[in-house]
Amino acid sequence: MEYRRLGKSGLKVSEIALGSWLTYGTVTERQQSIACVKEAYDQGINHFDCANVYGSEPHAAEVVLGEALAPYDRDSYVLTTKAFWPTGKGPNDKGLSRKHIFTQVEQSLRALNVDYVDIFYCHRFDPETDLEETLRALDDLVSQGKILYAGLSEWQPNQIADGIRLQREFNLHKFAASQPVYNMLNRYIEHAVIPICDDAGIGQVVFSPLAQGVLTGKYRRGQAAPEGSRGATDRVKAFVERQLNDETLSKVERLEGVAKEAGLSLAQLAIAWILRLDSVSSALIGASRPEQVLENVKASGVKLDGDTLDKIEEILA
């Protein structure tokens, strides 16, 4: 496993990180979840991602992840969580108000059974809360030591730029991480998000590097989604089906050929392609079985040559 700086911060994170969206506290049985975390830790992954709304109910995934990480020295891993989405039916049970952020950080710390999280993400932009209020709440939590770094997830370029400007203007702790979707089939961050973040020293921790499993080659044109796959699971089916068209699956078939020539699995090629960018600090994988972790970590340290990158670009274009 190789490690990278999180943007311009001093924090070092593993190139491959383990996420818990749609898995822990939901479709993945508890012991299997713990086994995946153990495999990840044993393989050198030091970066574990969660959120207050992951799981079958608020904080459910955090409880499982906290239990899985309990045997390990707290200083040896980087732990994240997030807030924005509703956690209840009350008027203050959502968003990025000072009240909701403080409430959710406290509840997340209890669920994870830790004293602090390394990175706390604003899970989306909140148009109903003054941005200065949100940023000052994050700054206070950093000063209190309950979060070490602040981050954002899936903000628009102008929203990121406004946040950076206000942090500079009021001398607040800076964002260290951005968590957007990024993969071979979804490259929107290349145009504006990455340049803005690079200039401010914000590292990318990208999710869905395998496009919900589409970039593993398991889905085929004219065939039903394999039993047990995300494309066959009611809870997440819609996320996958939108990409299961002939044009996309044809590209995937051609990419498999490139992967074979490079001596890699398609998943390893897809992750290595993401890590070609210095702007990316970590690629967040999901895993319901330990062997999936073992397969994906092999992408760390892989350097794709120019010929391979050109072939990929031709297919994606």
Task: List, by residue number, the catalytic residues.
Answer: 54
Question: What's CA 256's distance to the chain center, in Å?
Answer: 24
The answer, as to whether pTM is greater than 0.85, is yes
Phi and psi dihedrals of 69, rounded to 5?
-90, -10
Residues 134-163 have pLDDT tens digits of 999 999 999 999 999 999 999 999 999 999
Residues 9-51 have pLDDT tens digits of 999 999 999 999 877 767 678 889 999 999 999 999 999 999 9
Residue 49 Rama label (left phi>0; alpha psi -120 to 50; beta): beta
Q: Where in the chain are the domains?
A: 3-213+268-302
- What would the CATH number be for the domain defined by 3-213+268-302? 3.20.20.100
Average pLDDT value over all residues in the chain: 93
Q: What's the rounded mean pLDDT across residues 255-261?
A: 97
Rounded CA separation 8/6 (Å)? 6
Report whether 173 contacts 150 (CB < 8 A). yes
Contacts of 81 (CB under 8 A, 6+ apart): 50, 51, 52, 62, 105, 108, 112, 117, 120, 121
- Residue 226 — pLDDT band, cuts 50, 70, 90? low
pLDDT score for 245: 82
Residues 68-99 have pLDDT tens digits of 999 999 999 999 999 999 999 999 999 999 99
Short-list 269, 112, 283, CA closest to 189: 283
pLDDT score for 232: 45
